[in-house]
Amino acid sequence: MRNWSTDTTELKKNPEKWAVWELEQLVNFGLQGKRLDAKLLERHLSKLQIDPHRKDYLNFLLHEAR
């Protein structure tokens, strides 16, 4: 994943912040061949700063799949 506006080397030092940032990037800018980890998404969904409708849809998918 390429990102020119974030110092990812510093961000990777904090696993919690890295996971949230990476999920936000994948949801907002495309998966680019990757898959979202459902457990990781469920754990951090409330912390993601994404479009509320997209967040609702992801929440629906997570709970509907069970």
Q: How confident is the model at residue 1 (pLDDT cuts 50, 70, 90)?
A: low
Cβ 20 vs Cβ 44: under 8 Å: yes
Residue 46, token pair as written in the block: 């409330």
More confident: 7 or 4: 7
**pTM of the full structure:** 0.82
CA angle 22, 24, 27 (to 5 degrees): 110
**Polymer length in residues for the chain:** 66
pLDDT the model gives residue 19: 94
CA distance 16 to 34: 19
CA distance 54 to 58: 6
pLDDT tens readout for residues 30-57: 888 888 999 999 999 999 999 999 999 9
